[in-house]
Structure 1
Amino acid sequence: MSFKQFSFDRRIMAGIHACGYETPTPIQTKAIPEVLKGRDVMGLAQTGTGKTAAFALPIMQRLLEKKFSGQGPIRVLVLAPTRELALQIHENFMELGVEAGIRSAAVFGGVGAMPQIQAARRSSVIVACPGRLLDLMNQGVIKLDKVDTLVLDEADRMLDMGFLPDIRKIMSKLPQRRQNLLFSATMPDDIRDLADKILYRPATVQVANTAPAKTVEHVFYPVSQHLKNNLLFKVLEQTDYDSLLVFTRTKHKAKNLARRLAARGHKATFLQGNMSQNQRQRALDGFRDGSFKVMVATDIAARGIDCDRITHVVNLDVPDTAETYTHRIGRTGRAGRSGSAFSFVTRDDLRLMREIEKAVGYSIEHRTLEDFDYDKPNTHPAPAKRGGGRKPAADRKPAGERRPGRGRKPAEARDGDESRKPAGERKSGGRRKPGGGRKPSGGPAKSSDERRDSRPSSKRKSGGPKGNQEDSAKRKTGRPSRRKRRPSRFSKV
């Protein structure tokens, strides 16, 4: 079986030969005919199965058949979750379409927008991350009113990253009549709902990607959580590897671990979301050309890593699902090469271990190192949570033995204390005078109404508070007040 069966244009065949493609992969064999027919396609395939060419080749063939210009306006929109994946898809379009004259532009954040805007205006294919694309659309510098093909690649990861609202806003600006292609490594309920809304009578294309490559060796390393880094250092000393990819759960851990590996003499780098695009590109290029032998990354940042040199994948933190595990280790053992997948597991990972063994199809070896101290105590335990609520009833003292309030004696001690001064002779704190700081009244107590009225009694109007109410009522009627107003010092003389 070869690519000749699809009857591609000779210019596209030239791009296929230039990229070194000889025989189509299973996902390409199933997806290309459906896309050429103009049908909507739901593709289930993982990274490394050749799905980019599965939609790129037939899309370019349809552009040539419709005699669209390869230099704009935008006819094809491809949405990807990460900058690395968007750049990788863009490069595939450029390599496959170089002879056909079809231009592609990549649109993603972290770099200047003006070069991307200029490239998009001269291209027929846009590969974009949703956030940056929506920003440029709101500015009115990119228009998608001529798009007739929409591709959602790694749709499951885009939903995990919270891009669904942006995707809906982008799709609302596209023409209603278009071809929709959705590719995903997994099929959660959210993806099914999205597919039901945007795909019309789709052709479902699925390859058996739940089983990892048979050329990959799987090993579990049981270890305590606080000893994972030390075990990794020991394993790397005893492992002969070309390029090694380490997965962690958090970007903070990825950064710190890469620095610790570099301090131990390993050529290590890291990949995480807070890096600028130039930093990420330097790390990826260095890992691909061998300048860095070890790459530490998170699942989201690792989307788009395409390196044939990877011989080992280490799961420092076990993934949440067996599908993610298969997706991670799919970066080694490619093209019939051998590879190894090491997973550092704790007692909390028993359920995931069983799921992984079910996906692999056999019981995975549990390996330990003889010269490693697995009983070493944790010298830096996690700090205890503050607060903690009340103590148990058995640990609390009886009511009669409890410590009195701070700075205050018990009631029985206060009653029998002869050294206490009378209230009028006590020393007051702050600026208060003896006796509480209040002057003796020297007469009967004033009523509450008299205390509110600070005027002398001779000037008060009779009637108490009622008089005040009548006086205020007269003011509201607009009658001039009897009180003489003093001239302002700013008034004219």
Structure 2
Amino acid sequence: MAAARTENPGPVMMNLTKSNGQLRGPPKAASLSGSSAASVPTGRAPGLKPSGGTQEGPGIKFGDDWKKSLHLPPKDNRIKTSDVTATKGNEFEDYCLKRELLMGIFEMGWEKPSPIQEESIPIALSGRDILARAKNGTGKSGAYLIPLLERIDLKKDYIQAVVMVPTRELALQVSQISIQISKHLGGVKVMATTGGTNLRDDIMRLDETVHVVIATPGRVLDLIKKGVAKVDKVQTMVMDEADKLLSQDFMVLIGDIISFLPKNRQILLYSATFPISVQKFMAKYLQKPYEINLMEELTLKGITQYYAYVTERQKVHCLNTLFSRLQINQSIIFCNSTQRVELLAKKITQLGYSCFYIHAKMMQEYRNRVFHDFRNGLCRNLVCTDLFTRGIDIQAVNVVINFDFPKNAETYLHRIGRSGRFGHFGLAINLITSDDRFNLKAIEDQLVTDIKPIPGTIDKSLYVAEFHCSKPDCEEDEEKEDFRRLPINP
């Protein structure tokens, strides 16, 4: 995506309702060209009636060069970090996958497997349990979806795989990816079901054939106990963002769900961090799991981290300065409460910038719409709570701003991981008050990272994918952003 500078055109007519999360600035700043995301219907999870899952293959005959018929996205020539490039040199064809599945993989723009995919795919295909730890944005979804879809038997009309995720937005995203990469398989039925959507729709959908269910724990357990979702023949259960699913919020629900699965099921756990509770879970539910750890260091290599030392009253002014000087594709701005999310989103819109907001207290249909529209590039800035820290993959996001600094290292890691997806460069800027200085030091120590004071200039190459300078003397005014007027302490 070509980067475009965020403009501040002056007074704005706001289109604001209290609950829908869409605070629109001027039309000029409200759209992004080149953003790619599949359409998600408002108010229900994609995959309830999967349009992609019933498409037939393109009729490739034996001996044809099937790759020539693929509709490939533009080649991604951006520089990537070793988080995704330090591979063994394997190809997707090396895993003896169905040609139709390979077609979907390549049409997603996935050219070669990432390190987590190299390690995970052959083991998962063998049916063995997996405990995998890898960084945010390095291809974990593909690591489990590819073998899961390869093992689906279309001759069987029952649920064969369940993917558990902690948030509704992540369920939408994973189901969309599943539908896209399975679209040539000729009939894989994918269903997403989450709390906050119509239970009757889910019951009616499950009356038809469903092969893969992607769900939040509470909703799928409800459907299981009602006898609607029959999981007694499920061969694979995936836990994405497993550290969250093994927290107190979900642990009991997960145990109840597993009790309905057959004894010979396969369980795959994927996360960037794992709590101590994972050991107890492994001992109880996993059978000689294959352990993958690609986390020699916690923070992402492609993300440059800065802090600006401000007072609470200076935060909005500082944010305004960042907007006017950074070259933002899309930004995600984190607050620590839903009330502050709505207040900040309103203030940003009043300053003249396009802005959406999202938090857990919004109605599900509005959350779906905000998530869908932001992914499609209809707005440049999104203000949110930690609801949006789990697995959300929006390639255009190149700047993350912690308007409120998080309380712990795990939250910080997941927040900044929304930038720098799949080894690309990104920028994380933290607005630090005097109350945050001890948390800042503690997080630096725990993550073994260095969060530096924001400098007078920021090199665009640290977070902008492509930059072309048309003037021979533009190094200072084009390649770097001047932050000398930011309210920061030396």
**TM-score, normalised via structure 2 length:** 0.71
Displacement of 1:31: 0.7
**Contact 1:246/1:297 (8 A) holds in 2:** yes
Mapped pair 1:364 → 2:471:
no
What displacement does 1:161 show?
6.6
| Structure 2 counterpart of 1:83 | 168
1: CA distance between counterparts of 2:410 and 2:240?
17
Closer, same or farther in 2 for the Cα pair 1:144/1:272, shift >3 Å? same
Q: In the superposition, relative to structure 1, how do residues 8 and 173 fare at CA in structure 2: closer, same or farther (>3 Å)?
A: same
**How far apart are residue 132 of structure 1 and its match?**
1.3
| Alignment gaps of 5+ in structure 1 | 376-493
Q: How does 1:96-115 map to 2 (within 5 A)?
A: 96-100=181-185, 101-115=187-201
CA, structure 1 residues 373+22, in 2 after alignment: closer, same or farther (shift >3 Å)? closer
Q: Provide, for residues 353-382 of structure 1, a one-character-per-residue CA deviation record: whole Å limited to 9, x for no partner.
A: 33544536446234586556679xxxxxxx
3-state SS in 2 of match to 1:311: strand
Matched with 1:131 is: 218
Which residue of 1 is the match for residue 125 of structure 2?
A: 36
User: Quick one: which of 185, 191, 202 aligns to 1:116?
Assistant: 202
> In the aligned structure 2, how far is the partner of 1:265 from the partner of 1:3?
46
Q: 2:177 — aligned with what?
A: 92
Q: Which residue of 2 aligns with 1:202?
A: 289
Counterpart-to-counterpart distance in 2, 1:349 and 1:361? 17
3-state SS, counterpart of residue 69 of structure 1: coil
Tell me: CA distance 1:372–1:13, structure 2 relative to 1, closer, same or farther (3 Å): closer
- Structure-to-structure mapping, 1:340-419, within 5 angstroms: 340-358=427-445, 359=447, 361-362=449-450, 364-367=452-455, 371=485
Where structure 2 has 5 or more consecutive residues not aligned to the other structure, the ranges are: 1-89, 457-482
Q: 1:2 corresponds to which residue?
A: 91
Of Structure 1 and Structure 2, the greater helix share is in: 1
* Distance across 1 between alignment mates of 2:317 and 2:146: 47
Structure 1 distance, partners of 2:393, 2:367, is 14
Residue aligned with 1:332, SS:
coil
CA distance in 1, matches of 2:413, 2:330: 19
Aligned pairs (5 A) from 1:48-67? 48-63=137-152, 67=153
Q: Which moved more, 1:259-268 or 1:316-325?
A: 316-325
3-state SS of paired residue (2:304): strand
Percent pairwise identity:
33
Q: Is 2:110 the partner of 1:24?
A: no
Which residue of 2 is the match for residue 286 of structure 1?
Answer: 373
User: How many angstroms apart in 2 are the aligned matches of 1:272 and 1:363?
Assistant: 27
Structure 1 pair 372–216 and aligned structure 2 pair: CA distance change class (3 A) = closer
In 1: Cα distance, 2:388 partner to 2:410 partner: 17
Q: Deviations over 1:119-151 (max 9, x none)?
A: 334111101111111222232222211112111
Alignment of 1:253-264 (within 5 A): 253-264=340-351
SS at match of 1:246: strand
After TM superposition, the structure 1 = structure 2 runs for residues 155-234 of structure 1, keeping only pairs within 5 Å, are 155-160=242-247, 162-208=249-295, 210-234=297-321
What is the Cα deviation at residue 170 of structure 1?
Answer: 1.4
Q: How does 1:291-370 map to 2 (within 5 A)?
A: 291-335=378-422, 337-358=424-445, 359=447, 361-362=449-450, 364-367=452-455
Structure 2: distance between partners of 1:279 and 1:229: 26
Deviation readout 1:246-270 (Å, 9 max, x if unpaired): 0111222112211221122211111
* 1:58-82 C-alpha deviation (Å, 9 max, x unpaired): 122223xxx4536x31111111111
- Greater Cα offset, 354-363 or 38-47: 354-363
* Residues 1:316 and 1:61: Cα distance change in structure 2 (over 3 Å): same
Residue from 85, 96, 103 that aligns with 1:14: 103
Asked if 1 retains the 8 angstrom alpha-carbon contact of 2:131 and 2:269, the reply is yes
Asked whether the 8 Å contact 1:157–1:300 carries over to 2, the reply is no
Could you tell me whether the CA contact under 8 Å between 1:80 and 1:129 is conserved in 2?
yes
Q: Secondary structure at the match of 2:151?
A: helix
In 1, Cα distance between equivalents of 2:324 and 2:387: 28
Amino acid aligned to 2:409: A
Larger Rg: 1
Q: Is the 8 A contact 1:227 1:374 kept in 2?
A: no
Shift of 1:86: 0.9
| Preserved CA contact (<8 Å) 2:194 2:220 | yes
Q: Quick one: distance in 2 between partners of 1:37 and 1:337? A: 31
Counterpart check, 1:141 vs 2:247: no
Counterpart of 2:142, as a letter, is A
Q: Which one is further off, 80-89 or 259-268? A: 259-268
SS at match of 2:316: helix
Q: Is the 8 A contact 1:210 1:323 kept in 2?
A: no
Root-mean-square deviation over aligned CA pairs: 2.3
Question: More displaced, 22-31 or 335-344?
Answer: 335-344
Offset at residue 272 of structure 1 (A) = 0.6
Task: Decide whether aligned partners of structure 1 residues 335 and 60 sit closer, same or farther in structure 2, where only a CA change above 3 A counts.
Answer: closer
Partners in 2 of 1:244 and 1:208 — Cα distance?
26
Q: Would you say the 8 A contact 2:308–2:487 is kept in 1?
A: no
Structure 1 212/115 Cα, relative in aligned 2: closer, same or farther at 3 Å? same
SS of residue matched to 1:77: strand
Distance 1:304 1:214 in 2: 17
TM-score, structure 1 as length reference: 0.70
1:199, 1:260 → 2: CA distance? 49
- For these two proteins, the number of residue pairs brought into alignment is 371
Alpha-carbon displacement from aligned partner over 1:372-409 (angstroms, at most 9, x marks no partner): 6679xxxxxxxxxxxxxxxxxxxxxxxxxxxxxxxxxx
Q: In the alignment, is the contact (CA less than 8 A) between 1:273 and 1:301 conserved in 2?
A: no
Report the Cα offset of residue 168 of structure 1. Answer: 1.6
Q: Which amino acid aligns with 2:379?
A: F
Q: 1:131 to 1:209 in 2, by over 3 A?
A: farther
Query: CA separation of 1:310/1:7 partners in 2, compared to 1, >3 Å: closer, same or farther?
Result: same
